[in-house]
């Protein structure tokens, strides 16, 4: 491996990135996934954490351009140079440029270049790595089509990036035990008959088809949403799950993020004073979705796609026994389940009366 002269590196562990524009060769969601997976390759072996910014200037700005594009290194049409990136520093430092005259693809075919592979290489430069003369290394200068499923960083590249940033901290944040009595959740939703419980970057998956609880990371389902959620709910008739993080939301169908997302939560009718929501749950019977923010809640009509009049209302005024904020919410077996800390409150949907209180992880057969 090699580094740039004087080995420039980011002097922090939290590095931001932004996607300035997209190639017309691929779906936007596929571009975002390829970029997110490329960052994960490097964050999985270092203390680095990458956060995407959806506006403003990030440390690493990613763009597609052809020919002359404003720096001293014009691209050269199809073939030849595919992309380039700048070592860590302010301004153009860290930025990665991809030649739009190439055919970009999410596959590893022979009539296009795999964006994930090229982006992973270029982001190596954005983090301070130069080229490697080890054949097969990711930082080898020449493009090599290879299977990207479960692609693992070659050892030479790991040695190089860890020479700059050190290894993954020995104590990687571990998933809490299923039956930890203090277990709390960020968000919970149904999905095609299963129930997904989210905390940090982890997801517990409870399926009616298997007795065991499956443990995954969010990135294994939605790589570009790896850092976790504030709230989530399913509109089963549309086979759609909506995820919320800060003041944005995404719609997914299975593994695919629908194009055009994220969107600002104000699109749903929230006032600008609301910067994030705590929980959301959809009532499949009435087609209404309840959003919980602090001690208030909103009712959203999925048919008219608009907030109902007369909201927000106080949670405690309508849901007796729910005198606190709601971390996560779920509809199952004809009941609502409101999670607060390590407890959950089972509520009768019709009369909104509290039925019983249980531990949040009672779903895990503890």
- Quote the least distance from Cβ 332 to another protein, whole Å: 51
Nearer to another protein, 142 or 211 (CB): 142
Nearer to another protein, 99 or 302 (CB): 99
The residue with tokens 């691929």 is 26
29 vs 352: CA distance, rounded Å: 39
- Quote the least distance from Cβ 2 to another protein, whole Å: 8
Q: What is the CA radius of gyration of the chain?
A: 23
Strand order in the sheet with 187-191: 187-191, 194-199, 202-206, 213-217
Strand partners, 52: 17
Nearer to another protein, 130 or 321 (CB): 130
- Report the SS3 class of residue 363: helix
Question: Which helix (H) or strand (E) is 104 found in, with range?
Answer: strand 104-105
DSSP characters for 235-284? EGGGTEEEEEETTEEEEEETTEEPTT--EEGGGGT--TT----SEEEEET
Nearer to another protein, 99 or 346 (CB): 99
- Quote the least distance from Cβ 157 to another protein, whole Å: 13
Contact between residue 113 and residue 105 where contact means Cβ atoms under 8 Å apart:
yes
Contact between residue 126 and residue 94 where contact means Cβ atoms under 8 Å apart:
yes
Nearer to another protein, 88 or 312 (CB): 88
Residues 6 or more apart whose Cβ sits within 8 Å of residue 218: 198, 201, 202, 203, 225, 226, 227, 228, 229
Cα dihedral 73, 78, 81, 87 sign: positive
The residue with tokens 């608009």 is 306
What does the binding site for another protein look like in residue numbers (CB under 8 A)?
4-5, 73, 75, 79-85, 102, 113, 118, 121-122, 125, 130-131, 133, 135, 141-143
- Quote the least distance from Cβ 331 to another protein, whole Å: 50
Nearer to another protein, 5 or 208 (CB): 5
First to last CA, the chain: 49
- Quote the least distance from Cβ 92 to another protein, whole Å: 13
Nearer to another protein, 98 or 270 (CB): 98
Residues taking part in catalysis: 122
319 vs 22: CA distance, rounded Å: 46
- Quote the least distance from Cβ 270 to another protein, whole Å: 44
How buried is residue 325: exposed, middle or buried, by Cβ count under 10 Å (0-12/13-18/19+)? middle
- Quote the least distance from Cβ 120 to another protein, whole Å: 11
Contact between residue 327 and residue 186 where contact means Cβ atoms under 8 Å apart:
yes
């Amino acid at each position: 491996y090699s580094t740039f002269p004087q080995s420039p590196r980011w002097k922090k562990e939290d590095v931001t990135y932004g996607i300035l524009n997209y190639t017309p060769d691929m779906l936007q969601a596929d571009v975002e996934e390829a970029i997110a997976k490329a960052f994960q390759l490097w964050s999985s072996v270092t203390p680095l954490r990458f956060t995407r910014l959806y506006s403003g200037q990030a440390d690493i700005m990613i763009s597609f351009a052809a020919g002359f594009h404003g720096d001293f290194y014009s691209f050269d049409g199809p073939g030849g140079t595919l992309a380039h990136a700048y070592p860590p520093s302010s301004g153009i430092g860290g930025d990665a440029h991809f030649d739009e005259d190439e055919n970009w693809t999410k596959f590893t075919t022979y009539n296009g270049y795999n964006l994930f592979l090229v982006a992973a290489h270029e982001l190596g430069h954005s983090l301070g790595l130069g080229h490697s003369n080890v054949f097969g290394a990711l930082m080898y200068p020449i493009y090599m089509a290879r299977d990207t499923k479960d692609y693992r960083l070659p050892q030479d590249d790991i040695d190089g990036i860890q020479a700059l940033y050190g290894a993954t901290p020995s104590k990687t944040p571990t998933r809490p035990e299923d039956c930890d009595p203090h277990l709390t959740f960020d968000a919970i939703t149904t999905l095609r008959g299963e129930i997904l419980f989210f905390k940090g970057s982890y997801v517990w998956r409870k399926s009616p088809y298997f007795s065991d609880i499956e443990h995954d990371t969010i990135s294994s389902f939605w790589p570009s949403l790896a850092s976790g959620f504030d709230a989530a709910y399913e509109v089963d008739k549309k086979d759609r799950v909506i995820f919320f993080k800060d003041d944005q939301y995404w719609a997914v169908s299975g593994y695919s993020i629908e194009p055009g997302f994220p969107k600002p939560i104000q699109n749903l009718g929230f006032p600008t004073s609301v910067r994030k929501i705590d929980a959301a749950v959809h009532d499949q019977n009435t087609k209404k979705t309840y959003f919980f923010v602090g001690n208030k809640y909103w009712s959203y009509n999925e048919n008219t796609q608009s907030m109902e009049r007369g909201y927000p209302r106080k949670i405690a005024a309508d849901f007796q026994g729910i005198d606190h904020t709601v971390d996560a919410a779920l509809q199952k077996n004809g009941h609502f389940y409101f999670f607060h800390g390590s407890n959950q409150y089972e509520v009768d949907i019709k009369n909104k009366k509290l039925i019983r209180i249980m531990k949040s992880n009672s779903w895990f057969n503890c």
